[in-house]
Amino acid sequence: MDTAKNTDTTSWWERLTERCYATSTATLARNVKQEAGASYDALINDLEKPLEPHFEQAVARQLAAGQPAHFRPARTLMPVMMQRFGLNESALEEGGLINHADYVALRDTCNACGAVGDCWKAMRANAELDECRHICPNANAFDALAAR
């Protein structure tokens, strides 16, 4: 009987702990952003580092609500997004397949994107091309460049 009671207590405690963590994750992410700026910058610019799902979602919401002034999606997200479309950023520039003004326009569109939180999560999750087409405002331009 003690074993059954102990299992119920452990299960209850684990649920409570998980619930407390889940409800405080947004605050934790906000505190990391405010108090540990360099660590937060490294975190949002590293698309490979595994993150706990609740924390990753909280960071994505922060990015969607307004990215930090020093975060440039075109620097972090656009090269990865371009790879999904079969493009290589440096090869496009070097090969003259894209002129400077067009490239700047692509970067400006990326930096002003309203879906940066969704894009960040998608690039971290190695999203398939179809999902990328739905997220990215540069999708048509990337498709046209890939068709060249």
Per-residue pLDDT of 38-70, as tens digits, reads 888 888 999 999 999 989 999 999 898 886 777
> What are the structure tokens assigned to 136, written together?
């990215």
Q: What is the pLDDT of residues 2-15, one digit of tens each?
A: 444 455 567 877 87
Burial class (CB in 10 A: 0-12, 13-18, 19+), 64: middle
pLDDT at 1: 42
**Span 9-23, mean pLDDT?**
76
* Helices then strands, each counted (H, E), the chain: 10, 0
Q: Cα separation of 129 and 139, whole Å?
A: 10
